[in-house]
């Protein structure tokens, strides 16, 4: 007998979709203010339409189907990451995009979702907590995506892949001795990692520790972003009235630093409301994971919630100078098609988990 509430065509998490819609509207309005032209806004509208269509389609797919083809999907995204390194189009000092027809695609955004699909399968197969011997499975799975993304270089996405893997392993469980050993290995590897960072990546870390020391180079972004956020004060300066952002003091204001535009225009109150919206989105996604009876679906929804959480924490953190600038977009706010479509695809998968949460 079919479980009540499972598999209904329009059985969707209404609260989650309402929060998603609010963030989408805020993002489009802020982008219109930040871009200074209608071209970026119209392209973002198109990407939202494509993303919503993809979300509705994948929401009709049973999680068991995703589980069956998870490794094929993951291998496909790895192939795209290889293509990026071979014939990708360089931009802003990195080679992260490939052109398909009239679109520019960033495969690393989809690699995060594909990793969650495959990693969830490994976590389900793992009996009991991980130890040092069994950790090779999730680490070996995530390593190709991490390495290929880091080589572009895309430090932000690479760090999210690393953090996503670590958090999902912690959710599954890991022995205390194994956890301590891994932490020690990471600490020992930090100097080696520093030596292999690109010069501009080192400057960004220095800018995070002391932005005034590099105020005319890497620290400029952070200082101007902090100034814009602070100038918004309590209620903000109003739509398209931000002095810092309108006079082009804030670089990349329509992509990585779009939160600065929003904070200057909407102030402290608006910023708190936006942060609460993102927190609510993550919590609602986690609530879907909690309600499902299927272990694979639980890890699937949890992993996608972690991706959203990492994105908004890192992005807002770097615009406020609380974290290094690593080029992580703010979901549905930052301009960029791949990020928008990947965000909607993730929500579509959570919708599918919700539909079949009872069986």
Q: Domain map of the chain by residue range? A: 14-355
Token readout for 79 is 């192939």
**Confidence (pLDDT) at 359:** 66
**Confidence (pLDDT) at 5:** 45
> d(Cα 310, Cα 23) in Å, to the nearest integer?
16
Cβ-proximal residues to 60 (8 Å cutoff; 6+ apart), any chain: 9, 352
**Confidence (pLDDT) at 155:** 86
Are 300 and 168 spatial neighbours (Cβ–Cβ below 8 Å)? no
**Confidence (pLDDT) at 195:** 72
Query: Tens of pLDDT along the chain (359 residues)?
Result: 344 444 455 678 899 999 999 999 999 999 998 876 677 899 999 999 999 999 999 999 999 999 999 999 999 999 999 999 888 777 666 678 887 777 788 999 999 999 999 999 999 999 888 888 899 999 999 999 999 998 888 889 999 999 999 999 999 998 888 888 888 888 888 777 777 677 767 776 766 666 665 556 557 778 888 888 998 899 998 888 877 776 667 777 888 899 999 999 999 999 999 999 999 999 999 999 999 999 999 999 999 999 999 999 999 999 998 888 888 999 999 998 899 999 999 999 999 999 998 76
pTM: 0.91
If residue 192 lies in a helix (H) or strand (E), which one and from where to where?
helix 176-195
Alpha helix (H) residue ranges in 36-175: 38-58, 63-68, 70-87, 107-125, 136-150, 155-172
3-state secondary structure of 79: helix
* Sheet bearing 103-105, strands edge to edge: 89-91, 94-100, 103-105
Residues in the chain: 359
- pLDDT tens digits, one per residue of 299-348: 999 999 999 999 999 999 999 988 888 889 999 999 988 999 999 999 99
**Confidence (pLDDT) at 2:** 43
Are 43 and 35 spatial neighbours (Cβ–Cβ below 8 Å)? no
Supply the DSSP symbol for 326.
-
**Confidence (pLDDT) at 11:** 73
**Confidence (pLDDT) at 215:** 56
Rg of the chain over Cα atoms, rounded to whole angstroms, equals 20
Tell the burial category of 307 from Cβ atoms under 10 Å away from its Cβ (0-12, 13-18, 19+): buried
Cβ-proximal residues to 171 (8 Å cutoff; 6+ apart), any chain: 123, 299, 302
Token readout for 43 is 């392209």
Are 291 and 356 spatial neighbours (Cβ–Cβ below 8 Å)? no
Are 41 and 48 spatial neighbours (Cβ–Cβ below 8 Å)? no
């Amino acid at each position: 007998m079919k479980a009540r509430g499972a598999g209904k065509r329009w059985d969707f998490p209404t609260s989650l979709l309402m929060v998603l819609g609010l963030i989408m509207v805020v993002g489009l309005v802020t982008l219109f203010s930040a871009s200074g032209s209608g071209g970026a806004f119209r392209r973002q509208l198109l990407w939202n339409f494509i993303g919503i269509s993809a979300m509705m389609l994948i929401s009709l797919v049973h999680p068991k189907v995703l589980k069956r083809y998870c490794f094929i999907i993951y291998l496909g995204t790895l192939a795209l990451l290889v293509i990026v390194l071979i014939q990708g189009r360089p931009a802003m000092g990195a080679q992260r995009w490939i052109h398909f027809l009239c679109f520019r695609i960033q495969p690393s955004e989809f690699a995060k979702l594909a990793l969650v699909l495959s990693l969830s399968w490994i976590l389900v197969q793992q009996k009991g907590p991980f130890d040092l011997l069994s950790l090779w499975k999730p680490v070996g799975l995530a390593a190709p995506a991490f390495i290929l993304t880091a080589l572009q270089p895309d430090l932000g996405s690479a760090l999210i892949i690393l953090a996503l893997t670590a958090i999902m392993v912690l959710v599954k469980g890991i022995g205390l001795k194994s956890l301590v050993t891994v932490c020690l290995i990471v600490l020992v590897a930090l100097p080696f990692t520093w030596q292999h960072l690109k010069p501009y990546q080192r400057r960004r870390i220095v800018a995070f520790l002391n932005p005034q020391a590099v105020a005319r180079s890497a620290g400029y972004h952070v200082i101007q972003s902090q100034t814009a956020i602070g100038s918004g004060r309590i209620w903000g300066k109003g739509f398209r009235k931000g002095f810092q952002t309108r006079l082009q003091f804030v670089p990349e204001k329509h992509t990585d630093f779009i939160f600065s535009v929003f904070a200057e225009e909407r102030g402290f109150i608006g910023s708190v409301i936006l942060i609460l919206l993102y927190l609510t989105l993550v919590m609602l996604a986690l609530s879907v994971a909690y309600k499902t009876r299927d272990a694979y679906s639980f890890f699937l929804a949890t992993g996608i919630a972690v991706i959203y959480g990492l994105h908004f924490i890192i992005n807002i953190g770097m615009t406020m100078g609380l974290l290094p600038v690593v080029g992580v977009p703010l979901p549905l706010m930052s301009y960029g098609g791949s990020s928008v479509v990947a965000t909607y695809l993730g929500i579509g998968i959570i919708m599918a988990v919700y539909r079949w949460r009872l069986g």
